[in-house]
A = this chain, B = another copy of it.
Amino acid sequence: MPAPSAPVEETSTDAAIRRAGLRVTDTRRAVYDALRSLPHAPADALFERVKATVPATSVQSVYNALGDFVTTGIARRIEPAGHPGLFELRVDDNHHHVVCTACGRVEDIDCVVGQAPCLHPDETHGFRIHTAEVTFWGLCTSCADA
């Protein structure tokens, strides 16, 4: 036996899917792994990736899996205006996104402040707010040079 001296949190793909209450299937495993390789990928890019492992799959099945991931909370869908939906696994931490207005590239930005004041407005029109989402728009290095 491997004698785990410290409590080893099982972080494999299978475990993550199972923890979400979903059955482990080839498609879901492949989609999850694809999300790990491609941090901010649109569905069709993920599909291309998944096809390499599970050739019989379809775009719709990838959408199914992504939908299940988003519903159960192990993935998140972001939708920068003017671009198709992108999917990512980072879901628990409070981070934001920069989107290149020219090429659509997306990068993560860690929030520099713990309790951002602008994320806790006092006038909320009575809304009970549970999430804040920040998107920065700008030019990435490649597009700024061009």
Interface residues of A, Cβ cutoff 8 Å to B: 77-79, 81-82, 85, 96, 98, 100-101, 107, 109-113, 116-119, 121-141, 144
* A81 lies within 8 A of B82 (CB): no
> Which residue of the partner chain B has the closest CB to A79?
B81
CA A107 to CA B98, docked complex, whole Å: 24
Residue in B112, B125, B136 whose CB lies within 8 Å of A98: B125
CA A14 to CA B79, docked complex, whole Å: 34
Residue in B77, B133, B138 whose CB lies within 8 Å of A129: B138
* B127 lies within 8 A of A131 (CB): no
* A117 lies within 8 A of B112 (CB): yes
In order of increasing CB-CB distance, the 8 nearest A-B pairs are A116-B118, A129-B138, A79-B81, A131-B137, A126-B141, A127-B138, A107-B125, A133-B135
* A118 lies within 8 A of B119 (CB): yes
CA A96 to CA B134, docked complex, whole Å: 10
CA A110 to CA B122, docked complex, whole Å: 10
* B118 lies within 8 A of A112 (CB): yes
Q: A127-B98, A129-B98 are in contact. Are A134 and B119 (CB under 8 A)?
A: yes
Q: A79-B81, A121-B109 are in contact. Are A134 and B132 (CB under 8 A)?
A: yes
CA A58 to CA B111, docked complex, whole Å: 44
Q: A81-B78, A118-B118 are in contact. Are A124 and B136 (CB under 8 A)?
A: yes
